[in-house]
Amino acid sequence: MRKAPRLRPPPMDTLEAFDAAARLGSFSAAAEALHLTPGAVSRQMAALEGDLGVALFALGARGVALTPAGRRLHAAAAEALALVLGATRELRRRDGGIAGAGVVRVSVTPSFGARWLLPRLPRFQAAHPRIAVVPVAETRLVDLAREGFDVAVRYTAGPAPAGVEMRPWLREELVPVAAPALLEGRPRTVEGLAALPFLHDTSDAFWRHWLSAAGRPELLPASGTVFNDFNLAVGAAVSGLGLLLGRSALIAEELRDGRLVEAVPLRVPSPRAYHLARPSGAHPAPAAGAFWAWLAGQGQPEA
């Protein structure tokens, strides 16, 4: 007797892409969330529809919408992914997961992770040798609960999003900094800075804030080099490529060793602050609670 062909579920990465596209209503938004190209997501969805023999999405004016078949599959896929992520999170949190240690997954930006967290992490490890901290650096805003994060550090001025417990934690100041050689022979005044090339971290918003506080908003240049990561901006400033609006929590080392100096002795409070964040509505595991408490005690910048 011929056996019936074995029915196989779609691959996990395809289901994740399908879930993201269904939730966000856009292949492009799903691609950005998953660090894929829109074409890759589109091909995955076309292959999924071809395998199932039904249309899952309908094109709309603002993106894509689920068909009735798509809604049926998404209800099942979302529940399955939630169960897998929940089990994964519990296994990672469970004492004994790694050589008897609790595991804490922490979401940070690359600049904060490299410049603030990693230099201090040995202090936590010395106090809690049985807890393994796993920093994950992302420039995008991750979904803490869905992606299995225990703790996050977020730099924001806004309220906590739905499903997230967030508390103000670390404030910092903004100050123009540059390589010493770039400032030689120049007046160390706000007006004297206007002739220098400006370096921007993501946008010119912080420079606008600082110049307004200095009383000279009109000095913002029409152009400047923009970096999508603060680490790159700091490296450019150290190399003498321009004037950077430094963030006190992240440039302490360069100021201490003299690779950067304050171009004008005017520090302005940042419009944003670092916040501690974690998924709300769930009792944190002991390891995650210990790391949260340790971070809370580290809330003063070194400058």
The better pLDDT of the pair 149, 158 is held by 149
- Do strands 173-178 and 268-269 pair parallel, antiparallel, or not at all (unpaired)? antiparallel
* CA atoms of 228 and 203, how far apart (whole Å): 8
- Residue 5, SS3? coil
Most confident of 13-27, 78-92, 288-302: 13-27
User: Residue 177: pLDDT above 60?
Assistant: yes
Residue 253 belongs to what H/E stretch? helix 252-257
* CA atoms of 197 and 178, how far apart (whole Å): 10
**Number of other residues whose CB lies within 10 A of the CB of residue 142:** 15
pLDDT of residue 212: 95
pLDDT of residue 302: 40
Contact 286, 95 (CB under 8 A): yes
Task: Please write the tens of the pLDDT for every residue from 244-281.
Answer: 999 999 999 999 999 999 999 999 999 999 999 999 87
Q: Tell me the residue type at 52.
A: L
- Cβ-proximal residues to 188 (8 Å cutoff; 6+ apart), any chain: 263, 264, 265
- Cβ-proximal residues to 84 (8 Å cutoff; 6+ apart), any chain: 12
The closest alpha carbon to 120, from 61, 58, 170, belongs to 170
Contact 131, 249 (CB under 8 A): no
The DSSP output letter for 142 is: -
Mean pLDDT of the chain: 87
* CA atoms of 106 and 288, how far apart (whole Å): 9
Task: Please write the tens of the pLDDT for every residue from 189-241.
Answer: 999 888 899 998 878 889 999 999 999 999 988 778 888 889 999 999 999 99
* CA atoms of 137 and 134, how far apart (whole Å): 10
The closest alpha carbon to 93, from 291, 287, 293, 292, belongs to 287
Q: Where in 112-264 does DSSP place strands (E)? A: 131-137, 151-156, 164-170, 173-178, 198-201, 225-227, 243-247, 261-262
User: Residue 43: pLDDT above 80?
Assistant: yes
Percent of the chain with pLDDT over 70: 91
- Do strands 131-137 and 63-66 pair parallel, antiparallel, or not at all (unpaired)? unpaired
Q: Where in 42-172 does DSSP place strands (E)? A: 57-60, 63-66, 102-108, 131-137, 151-156, 164-170
**Number of other residues whose CB lies within 10 A of the CB of residue 164:** 18
CA 291 to mean position of chain CA atoms: 18
Task: Please write the tens of the pLDDT for every residue from 46-102.
Answer: 999 998 999 999 987 778 899 999 999 988 888 887 777 766 666 655 544 444 468
